[in-house]
Amino acid sequence: MKLAYLGPPGTYSEQAALEVEGAVLMPFGTISAAVRAAEDGAADAAVVPVENSLEGAVTQTVDILIHHTELRIRQEIVLPIHHSLLTQPGVGPRDVSVIYSHPQALAQCRAYVARNLPGAEPVASLSTAAAVSDMQNSDRPAAAISSERAAELFGVDATDRNIEDVRNNRTRFVMLAPRDTPRSGHDKTSICFDFREDAAGILHGALGELATRNINMIKIESRPDRRSLGRYVFLLDIEGHREDGIVSAALNGIRARATMFKVLGSYPRAR
Q: Where are the domains of the chain?
A: 2-80+170-177, 84-161, 187-268
List pLDDT tens digits, range 155-187. 998 999 999 999 899 999 999 999 999 999 999
Residues 6+ apart with CB under 8 A from 200: none
pLDDT band at 229 (very low <50, low <70, confident <90, very high): confident
Task: Let me know if 59 is a catalytic residue.
Answer: no
Q: Which one is catalytic: 11, 87, 128, 171? A: 171
CB 151 within 8 Å of CB 135 = no
pTM across the whole model: 0.90
State the pLDDT at residue 228: 81
CA–CA gap between residue 195 and residue 231 (Å, rounded): 8
Active-site position among 11, 28, 61, 173? 173
Same fold, 2-80+170-177 and 187-268: no
Q: How confident is the model at residue 235 (pLDDT cuts 50, 70, 90)?
A: very high
CATH level 2 (architecture), domain 84-161: 3-Layer(aba) Sandwich (3.40)
pLDDT at 199: 84
Catalytic residue check, 30:
no
pLDDT at 207: 97
Cis peptide before 141 (omega within 30 of 0): no
Q: Architecture of 187-268 per CATH?
A: 2-Layer Sandwich (3.30)
> Under CATH, what is the fold of the domain 2-80+170-177?
D-Maltodextrin-Binding Protein; domain 2 (3.40.190)
